[in-house]
Amino acid sequence: MKFIDRNGRVFGKISVIDLLVVAVVLVMALALYVKTNHNEITSTTTSNVPITYQLLVRGVRTYVADAVQVGDSVYDPDRSSGGSLGKIVDVEVQPGAKLAEFNDGTVDTVPVEDGVDLLLTVEGSGIISQGRYILNRVYDLGINSSRTYCTMYAQFTATVVDISG
């Protein structure tokens, strides 16, 4: 028995064109299934929750500290597509300090001249999934991550020191 007979049928039962149509329908059904079953992180059915996090800014000049105000929106200049990362709800100004190495090989914290440390409390919204905090559904936030942030009037490098959701 031949695989394809004179009439173009496989084993004399079904035509090759019918097989192609069935294959295309199966591929389209699989694509529809994959498209409608979202991951939890990108799903539109997951609602945003408030996320509060603290940023520690070390050794900034006083004019930068004066430019950071309660109510300012925080952005990441490298990732502008995600929008605002939240609003500053509290600004704590602390005496500036940095690590210094002395001639005898010891390391200690010394005051910074014309500089302060800032502890910024920021409230944003996003999703919490499997222990991950994702602001605006696109911006992954983690403790001890150090990045450049900016407000409308200031730019600074800060470290995330606390997250609560």
Model pLDDT for residues 36-64, shown as the tens digit of each residue: 776 555 555 667 889 999 999 988 888 88
Answer whether residue 42 is part of any domain.
no
Average pLDDT of the chain is 84
98 shares its domain with 146: yes
63 shares its domain with 135: yes
Predicted local confidence at residue 1, as pLDDT? 57
Domain of 107 in residue numbering reads as 49-164
Residues of the chain with pLDDT under 70: 1, 12, 38-46, 80-82
Predicted local confidence at residue 53, as pLDDT? 93
The count of structural domains within the chain is 2
85 shares its domain with 150: yes
60 shares its domain with 11: no
CA atoms in the 13 A half-sphere facing the CB of 13: 4
14 shares its domain with 55: no
pTM equals: 0.65
74 shares its domain with 30: no
Calpha distance 6→110 (Å, rounded) = 92
For 120, the 3-state DSSP assignment is strand
